[in-house]
Amino acid sequence: MALLGSPAVPEAPDLVDPRRVTVALLDVGKTYPNGRQALIDVDLVIPDGDFVFLVGPSGAGKSTLTKLLIRDELPTTGTVFVAGKDVTRLKRRDVPRLRRQIGTVFQDYKLLPTKTVLENVAFALEVTGTPGPQIRPAVSRVLELVGLTAQADQLPAQLSGGEQQRTAIARALVHDPRIIIADEPTGNLDPLISWEIIQLLLRINELGTTVLMATHNAEVVTAMRRRVVAMEDGRIVRDEVGGYHQEY
């Protein structure tokens, strides 16, 4: 990791083994069927344990990039490695196993309104065939980590926005993923609560999980002095530690 304040020197992709890092995108291009070029010549390496902000204006390609990582979309050109797997060559039936190594967090939380906090988190284990006796301890552990033990039996509608997002983070964590991908996790939250969420993600990162967070929140990004990958018009225009030089 580069020293604070000095520009990071991203390792040249052809020098690293893409299977040994959490995420590696090599010469990735994505053109949608309607002809729109969402990603152009994207190279990005995220080593284990990194905390990366992905910034850029709307339509810069941030969402497309995260969709490639969870194999919701396939690249038109290039290769994408996640957790040591080439997702472009992954068989359809192996996709679920890949997704269990990726925790996803979204702006709109994506919680099930009829399930309690505990049930929402347990759901992620139930639907992946985790044996019943293992579910309860795992859920308790992550709820404690995000500080929602007391709210375990409440429904999402009874929670604040920050608590709902923490529930979503707990759900993303419950599989012990290699990476958390958070797409605008603070987009619906006020500044104070946003800081809480960032603190939580930092803590998770300190415990060893790689975090990739796409955001518009310039204040947060500037203050954190972490690695920032900036995108514009489908290209990575900057990849360095520190500030958010331009307002988007």
Partner 1 sequence: MIGFLAFSVRRGWQGFWRNAVMSIAATITMMLMLLLLAGLVIGLSGLQAGLRFVEQKVEIQAFIADGTPKDRIDALAAQVGAQPEVAIVTYVDKETALAEWREQLREQGRTDYTTATGINPIPASLRVKLRDPRVYGQVVETLQAATGVVTDVLETQRVVDALLGVTGFMRTAGIIVMLLVGVTVLFIVVNTIRVAVMARGEEIEIMRLVGASDAFIRWPFIVEGVLVGLLGAAATLLILAVAAAPLGQVVATLVGQVPIEFDRNLAVELAVAIVGTGVILGGLGAFVSVRTYLIR
Residue 230 identity (one-letter amino acid): A
What are the structure tokens assigned to 65, written together? 């990039």
Segment contacting partner 1 (CB under 8 A): 5-13, 104-112, 195-203, 221-229?
A: 104-112
What are the structure tokens assigned to 232, written together? 């514009």
CB of 242 to partner 1, least distance (A): 32
What are the structure tokens assigned to 167, written together? 């529930």
Contact pick of 22, 66, 104, 167 for partner 1 (by CB under 8 A)? 104
Q: Is 171 in the site for partner 1 (CB under 8 A)?
A: yes
Contact pick of 62, 85, 166, 175 for partner 1 (by CB under 8 A)? 175
Q: Please name the residues in contact with 183: beta carbons below 8 A apart, sequence gap of 6 or more.
A: 62, 63, 66, 104, 105, 106, 107, 214
Q: Is 76 in the site for partner 1 (CB under 8 A)?
A: no
Over the window 26 to 65, marking each residue x when it contacts partner 1 by CB under 8 A and - when it does not, the resulting string is ----------------------------------------
In the bound state with partner 1, the residue whose beta carbon lies nearer, of 126 and 144, is 126
CB of 211 to partner 1, least distance (A): 17
Segment contacting partner 1 (CB under 8 A): 80-88, 98-106, 137-145, 240-248?
A: 98-106
The Cα–Cα gap between 24 and 46 comes to 6
Assess contact for 2 and 198: CB atoms under 8 A: no
Closest CA to 125 of 111, 142, 138: 138
Q: Is 70 in the site for partner 1 (CB under 8 A)?
A: yes
Residue for token digits 């304040």?
Answer: 5
Residue 57 identity (one-letter amino acid): P
Q: Which 8-state DSSP code applies to residue 165? A: H
Strand partners, 53: 213, 228
Contact pick of 6, 76, 128, 246 for partner 1 (by CB under 8 A)? 128
Assess contact for 48 and 16: CB atoms under 8 A: no
Over the window 181 to 220, marking each residue x when it contacts partner 1 by CB under 8 A and - when it does not, the resulting string is ----------------------------------------
Positions in the binding site for partner 1 (CB under 8 A): 70, 72, 92-93, 96-100, 102, 104, 110, 112, 114, 123-124, 126-129, 131-132, 171, 175
